[in-house]
Amino acid sequence: MKTQQLLTTHPLVSQLEEVNLSHPFTELGWLTGCVGQEALIRAWYPKASQITVCSTDGAIEQQMTCIDHRGLFELGNADVFAGAYRLRIDSPYAPQVECWDPYAFKQCSYQGLEQLEQSLRSWYRVLGAQLMTMPAGNHTVNGVRFVVYAPNASSVSVIGDFNHWDGRRHPMERCLDGHWVLFMPELKAGQRYKYELKDKQGAQLPHKADPIGFYAEQYPSLASVIWDHSDYEWTDQRWQEREVDPPIHQPMSIYEVHIGSWKRKHNSFGWASLSYRELATELVEYVKEMGYTHIELMPISEHPFDGSWGYQPVGLFSPTSRYGNPDDFKYFIDCCHQAGIGVIIDWVPAHFPADAHGLARFDGTTLYEYSDPRRGWHKDWNSYIYDFGRDTVRRFLIASALIWFDYYHVDGLRVDAVASMLYWDYSREEGEWIPNVDGGNQNYEAISLLKWFNEEVYREFPRALTVAEESTAFSGVSRPTYLGGLGFGFKWNMGWMHDSLQYMQQDPLFRKYHHNEITFAMVYNYDENFILPLSHDEVVHGKGALLGKMPGDEWQQAANLRVYTAFMFAHPGKKLSFMGNEIAQVSEWNHDGSVEWTVLEYPRHYAQQALTKALNHVYRQHPALYEGDHQHEGFKWIDYNDWQRSILAFERHALSSDDMVIVVCNFTPTPVQSYRLGVPQAGHYQVIFNSDDESYWGSGMVEVACIIAQPLPWQGRGYSIVIPLPPLAAIYLVATKDS
């Protein structure tokens, strides 16, 4: 009777019913030190009619007393159970259930939390929904330990199918540093869950997906899903083994892919995207046959809106479930590695969407975003900006980068929208931004974060690649942090892309007046480790396909695209081209559609595909075309000043051998019957590639395959050769040893 009187005046039942309890470990489960009791078991199960406490061996059973009809039960003198017991629950609304009591696992619920300050990898090994085994007397119990960071919430509950999405059922325990924990016995991988939070004032927030969730459902549930990362058995044993040469001396020809629209299949519901496992066969085989070295995936982090292409992610720790589960994605990467193909994925730390189930005002406050909209809101993308100065946000972001290497074996990350992170005034008018402490426009917090990100990635995974999409002249993007740089391995050369495309869009008659646009990139080529991108950004939003940017009639358009592609492969810098470019797709990219594979029925399209395939193989066979991309020794102009005829000639040199490739480009439709070209040595010169070859739908003007150098100095060289130069064409030559 004393216990009943105590509880009828105690606010516990109201707190539980209204979901306002922040420390359930002191009120529920196996308790000691209660008034008049040696030990007490207290259980809270709304709608339960009877609860029986059972010993783990089933030998002892004692019925609990219902203290409040809303679902609070107690059992006094409970020392015999000593924290290891099961509950048998009867309810008029559901079948009888026997289960372990989550609130009997209090001390072990904190297991590993101290690691969060010691290791960034611990953020995804400790936080979120972790499958764990806990001691229970002489037994062990499998289950899931949930940990979520919400320091400004007044209460947090874990909800899911296992408790009918009822926030009253499983309130979590608040730790001193703002994490909330609860171990749920007998939960398994595949079960859905979310968090129910109340803000400081006790107002309930929209149900939140797990910020460290490993798997999630699509609309309408958008629920997080428990996942076991230990199940998959990798077969790519050589992944991340250190090679002799660093990536800057290796060939990199990257095929950029939007998974959802690379190829579609027809099913009973209409047209659908290929799954990860289907892509592991079809995409991998295609990329290998075409000769690309890497696949770059547009963001595959979980995102709610298809139309964002993945650039508005809510799940930085989970591959999108649109195409399969996490193991399916691992299988795709595994198959890529077995085929000798590296995988780069786009990573988006610059911003996140305002979707209610995501990170926005996660605990009722601006926990992840800057609070001032002049710093915390992107008006261009209608998205929030991470608070790059907050330690927990910085650790969250870097951990979200490491997991892709650690759990998914990716080879590289391409960081999206770096320029928007570096500058406070990015895409903002005067008065719309706040200067830094020195009165300038650089975001020191973001700069510091990017440096730390690169240091952690390369420290943990020395053979990794990090790539910056950075469109300004910010100095040292791909220089080591110890030299004052940001530490990226590579930077997209947006200047080359802009200038060269602008040049190619000119009528060839007027290209001579824009000659500097096609040569200017060599002025700054050695400032950074560049990748030359012809990405998805160039074929959307009304820009049209690459083929449509080329001037002239049907043949000239195709010839322009061929010479441009060949010029790109010969120019210093690693290569990246978006899917569809390799077949001269006619329409601009549509994320709801597919690459226009049907155009391969026509000559100019399968010719462009054949040309791209040939270039990939020539590129990989000649170290001259990649080893010296970032060293002065790797490139020499032969003639960059023939602006009146719009002709360029240059040499590419290997660093590890005497391999040399000479490249001549004619950017006009006017053929030159006898073009004299300076060469550095005597001997024979063989044409190894000609974009005007008939097999590429060219004119077939060049028939001679080998030319003998004459001892006639020309263009600063001691020897020269005379070759026919086809219209709108590029020719590669190599010196051959005399027999």
Q: Give the Cβ contact number of residue 552 at 10 Å.
A: 14
List, edge to edge, every strand of the sheet that includes 192-198.
155-160, 192-198, 224-225
Q: Which of 302, 416, 538, 629 is catalytic?
A: 416
Asked whether the beta carbons of 143 and 111 are under 8 A apart, the reply is: no
Report CA torsion sign: 182, 186, 190, 192. negative
Taking phi first (over 0 means left), then psi (-120 to 50 degrees means alpha), and beta for anything else, what does residue 639 get?
beta
Q: Which of 101, 210, 327, 469 is catalytic?
A: 469
**What CA–CA distances, in Å, run from 402 to 183, 242, 506, 563?**
26, 18, 44, 40
Angle at 160 between CA 158 and CA 164, to 5 degrees: 115
Asked whether the beta carbons of 472 and 422 are under 8 A apart, the reply is: yes
- For residue 274, the 8-state DSSP code is P
Phi then psi dihedrals of residue 333, to 5 deg: -65, -40
Strand partners, 51: 89
Q: Give the Cβ contact number of residue 1 at 10 Å.
A: 5
Closest CA to 208 of 319, 364, 73: 364
Catalytic annotation present for 346 = no
Whether omega for the bond prior to residue 220 falls within 30 degrees of 0, making it cis, is yes
β-strand pairing of 315-319 with 270-273: unpaired
Asked whether the beta carbons of 578 and 612 are under 8 A apart, the reply is: no
Q: Give the Cβ contact number of residue 102 at 10 Å.
A: 27
The per-residue DSSP string of 308-351 comes to GTTSS-SEEEEE-GGG--HHHHHHHHHHHHHTT-EEEEEE--S-
Residue 398 tokens, joined: 């870097």
- The Cα–Cα gap between 406 and 414 comes to 16
Closest CA to 100 of 41, 172, 59: 41
Residue 515 tokens, joined: 């000659």
Asked whether the beta carbons of 214 and 318 are under 8 A apart, the reply is: yes
- The Cα–Cα gap between 536 and 550 comes to 17
**What CA–CA distances, in Å, run from 241 to 237, 454, 671?**
8, 19, 49
Report CA torsion sign: 530, 536, 541, 545. positive
With tokens 């709108």, the residue in question is 728
Catalytic annotation present for 469 = yes
Q: Which helix (H) or strand (E) holds 418?
A: helix 418-422
With tokens 């043949």, the residue in question is 555
Phi then psi dihedrals of residue 726, to 5 deg: -70, 165
The per-residue DSSP string of 380-397 comes to TTTEE-B-TT-HHHHHHH
**What CA–CA distances, in Å, run from 330 to 219, 327, 598?**
23, 5, 30
**Cβ contacts of residue 50 below 8 Å, gap of 6+?**
63, 64, 66, 89, 90
Can you tell me whether residue 184 is helix, strand or coil? Answer: strand
Closest CA to 677 of 667, 687, 669, 668: 687
Can you tell me whether residue 667 is helix, strand or coil? Answer: coil
**Cβ contacts of residue 697 below 8 Å, gap of 6+?**
555, 558, 562, 603, 604, 607, 608
How many CA atoms are closer than 13 Å to the CA of 187, on its beta-carbon side? 28
**Cβ contacts of residue 682 below 8 Å, gap of 6+?**
709, 711, 719
Can you tell me whether residue 425 is helix, strand or coil? Answer: coil
Catalytic residues: 416, 469
